[in-house]
Amino acid sequence: MRSFIAIELSHEIREAMAILVKDLQKDGIQGRWVSPNNIHLTLRFLGNIRDDQAVEIGKLMEEVAKGFFPFTVSLEGLGAFPHAARPRVLWVGVGKGKDHLIHLQGELERRLTSMGFAPEDKAFKPHLTLARFKFPKEEVRRRVYQACRKREQARWGVMEAASVVLFESMLSPQGARYRKVKEVALGGPSS
């Protein structure tokens, strides 16, 4: 199964992202938009894993979660990787809670690497992916740059990160659908 570990967004943050995506589309930004229902805070993309690996990853998540308590995350700003003038990914950033997320992701990464997963080749930068661009035209690049400048100080809301989730990603012509495989509460029991 194609899978990843993430933190789900609160209903309020999901609604704020839906409004933001509509506004950006009205600004004429064309790209592959992530459905607001599918936006989440990815901690680690795993790729294809077997069912037995999913069980082991669930246990690993439980062990890691014991060392963390729920924490506040604020969603702020708008930016693009690698740069707003050359966008490939349009994202919303994290303010408060960023250090907790980096620490949580680092602990997951360390344990996944010891399980045999190849280490990530880029430093973890907590964000919500809103859209992707393969080869954006000059007009799209200009509009993304303007949108990022206009919203670089914007605040989209605050939520509590209380659990981590192992998701299965099922791809279809209509887009990706996600199924929860395992959810683990931070500092508490799992479901």
> What is the sign, positive or negative, of the torsion defined by CA atoms of 143, 144, 145, 148?
positive
> Is the link from the previous residue into 70 a cis peptide, with omega within 30 of 0?
no
User: In this structure, are residues 57 and 113 in contact, taking their beta carbons and an 8 Å threshold?
Assistant: no
For the question of residue 11 being annotated catalytic, the response is no
Cα separation, 57 vs 68, whole angstroms: 17
Domains and CATH numbers, the chain: 2-185 (3.90.1140.10)
Write down the pLDDT at residue 191: 45
In the predicted structure, residue 174 carries a pLDDT above the cut 90: no
Write down the pLDDT at residue 58: 96
- Over residues 60-112, the pLDDT tens digits come to 999 999 999 999 999 999 999 999 999 999 999 999 999 999 999 999 999 99
Catalytic residue among 11, 100, 103, 127: 127
Catalytic residue among 40, 83, 100, 103: 40
| Average pLDDT taken over every residue of the chain | 94
